[in-house]
Structure 1
């Protein structure tokens, strides 16, 4: 995707360029929610408000990757995301991204059904323009949380999931596993094609779809935020929604009507979520060890 308005050398420069005048920041309100970035609502001298994310430990490309994901979702014309405004690197705040600010409004009637329908439409959208070659992957590597996510293109879903999702994280988490468990892991990796099926169509995925990564937008509907996009199997997004909860039955009943979940999805769900549990094991420590081991043992017997 074409990323515009990135590379500003300061937040003040970005705000002035964004508004094409001498607009300044007149106030800021720190927002809660994420544990990786600082987040603020900025008040501007022209009475507008914008949303700022910043991170002193990251380079600009960290937020460029997020912006690219938001633009990819927007390009499907199926489900809303905040508008990407600009980004850059500020000497005080570090790398930053400025997005459209969304007011907190009430949910529309049928909120969860509409959310499921729009997500299914995103999963049904033509994804061919989001990969450089092959069927699965993305235009660039990006991030899952703060961790680099590899999106090399592959023609088969099982190969992509093995090489770009499980292997990199198993390698990062290697110190948690003894020799016996490493053998079990290799057996799992060698036999993924026993469980993973090719989808009827590759889908653009949000990639990190837990309950903290959607918000209620100005129209009262669900808007996607903080994507870790790639082209894969739609089942992987739905599996993630079930990992930590926060989604209601109405959402799943409506999504099931899309027919995007293949027969036996329930037997594959934990395999998809192994990726996210490994990421949490590496990021947050040993409390995620037992769930990872249970999944490995479930599949290899």
Structure 2
């Protein structure tokens, strides 16, 4: 891989660049990561996977570039390069040195997220499918946000779990009932397609050395902005001042406190599909609350 990295770096910098040091900095359940120190003094972050899903890193690069265009949005690592192969096995990114959040980090983060969400489009979805974790995320364009969220988020995950034998019949049937009454539970008045990060749990944002909010590892699409906010509350939540500041600059419709569980049902179903039956009780609890 080192020879290939040299080729990508040469293309990115317009001249040969040597790798002075390579440091493993761990990884998650999908990819491994490296930190490269280069002869020109730069440091570069590398995500790699020996057998990634089709176009996995190319889709991530697309999302990072798009999020980076948001006016007043959070900081996003710049894409340095991808290898020229059918299914790239790694992605080179700007290395952002982490720092300590300062006293106004959460307010700045919420306003940056609102800036991201102000980027809009004529449809819900994306120009191609991408991934949520290692699960395919269907982004078929729709003009109706209810249709998009019901069919390409909740029902897609439901059918995947059904095929894998992860949904008991009783839960499956009640989930059908929930999907059939979704129009009664969602307040979509005034909402427009918003550019989402798509997987905004606590492991996917941090403060850089200057305290600037940064986001990475996206599963982006144009969707309902409450989905991003809800995800920040799925595994714990940010301080209340984060949500208050967001509401000041981009107010939500009444009833978000109830709807957030419906948005997070998408991620709970995905975790059921990725990690198994330990997430079934959480899925059942949300379904039973609304049916």
The answer to whether the aligner puts 1:10 opposite 2:1 as a matched pair is no
Gaps of 5+ in 1: 1-8, 129-133
TM-score, normalising length: structure 1:
0.89
1:27 corresponds to: 21
Deviates more, 1:262-271 or 1:10-19: 10-19
TM-score, normalising length: structure 2:
0.92
Pick aligned residue for 1:182 from 172, 178, 182: 172
2:101 partner SS: coil
Tell me the CA shift for residue 41 of structure 1: 0.6
CA contact (8 A) 1:150 1:164 kept: yes
The answer to whether the aligner puts 1:237 opposite 2:231 as a matched pair is no
**Residues 113 and 290 from structure 1, CA distance in 2 versus in 1: closer, same or farther, beyond 3 angstroms?**
same
The answer to whether the aligner puts 1:154 opposite 2:171 as a matched pair is no
1:163 partner SS: helix
**Structure 2 Cα separation of the partners of residues 227 and 195 of structure 1:** 27
Pick aligned residue for 1:284 from 275, 285, 289: 275
2:81 corresponds to: 86
Map of 1:45-64 to 2, 5 A cutoff?
Answer: 45-58=39-52, 61-64=55-58
CA contact (8 A) 1:135 1:202 kept: yes
CA contact (8 A) 1:235 1:260 kept: no
Tell me the CA shift for residue 38 of structure 1: 0.6
**Structure 1 Cα separation of the partners of residues 99 and 26 of structure 2:** 17
Output one character per residue of 1:134-187: Cα deviation in whole Å (capped at 9) or x when no partner: 521112111111111000111111100011101111111111223333221211
1:215 partner SS: strand
2:249 corresponds to: 258
2:214 corresponds to: 223
Map of 1:133-144 to 2, 5 A cutoff?
Answer: 134-144=122-132
Tell me the CA shift for residue 113 of structure 1: 0.5
The answer to whether the aligner puts 1:297 opposite 2:288 as a matched pair is yes
Tell me the CA shift for residue 33 of structure 1: 5.0
1:131 corresponds to: none
**Structure 2 Cα separation of the partners of residues 151 and 223 of structure 1:** 25
**Residues 285 and 178 from structure 1, CA distance in 2 versus in 1: closer, same or farther, beyond 3 angstroms?**
closer
1:161 partner SS: helix
Tell me the CA shift for residue 274 of structure 1: 0.3
Gaps of 5+ in 2: none
